[in-house]
Amino acid sequence: MILTYILAAIFVFLAVLLLLGKGDMLIAGYNTASPEEREQYDIRRLRLLVALVLIIVSVGMVLMVLWPEEFAIAFGFIVIFICLLTVILANTWAKKKDR
C-alpha cells in the first residue's frame, strides 16, 4: 500500500514537472524523435496531455488501494481506455496544424 502511494506521488511530481515546461525527455518517443519529427508536435499540448494522464493514473492507483475489490477490474479497463485515448489525442490534438 505504501509503495502505491509513493508511485502515485512520483507520478504527480512528474506531472507538475511537465506542466512547468520541464521534462520533455520523459515523454516516450519524443526524446528519441528526430528534430524534424519533433517539429510536427505542439509540445505544450503534448506536455498537457501526458501530465493529465499521469494525474488520472495516480488518482486511480490511490482509489484502487482504497477500494481494492470493487475498483481493481474497472481500473484495468480505465487504464486501457486512457492509453488508447492518449495515443489518439497525441496523434491528432497534439500535432501541429499545417498553416
Question: Does residue 96 belong to any structural domain of this protein?
Answer: no
Question: Does residue 56 belong to any structural domain of this protein?
Answer: yes
Yes or no: say if 86 and 53 are a contact pair by the CB < 8 Å rule. yes
pTM of the model: 0.84
pLDDT band, residue 98 (cuts 50/70/90): low
**Number of domain units in the chain:** 1
Whether 57 shows a pLDDT value over 60: the answer reads yes
CA gap 29, 34 in Å, rounded: 10
Question: Does residue 97 belong to any structural domain of this protein?
Answer: no
Residues 6+ apart with CB under 8 A from 46: 27, 30, 90, 94
Check residues 99 and 81 and name the one with the higher pLDDT: 81
Per the structure, the complete domain to which residue 64 belongs is given by 2-91
Q: Is 53 helix (H, G, I), strand (E, B) or coil?
A: helix
pLDDT given for residue 11 in this prediction: 96
Closest of 23, 27, 53, 52 to residue 41, by C-alpha: 27
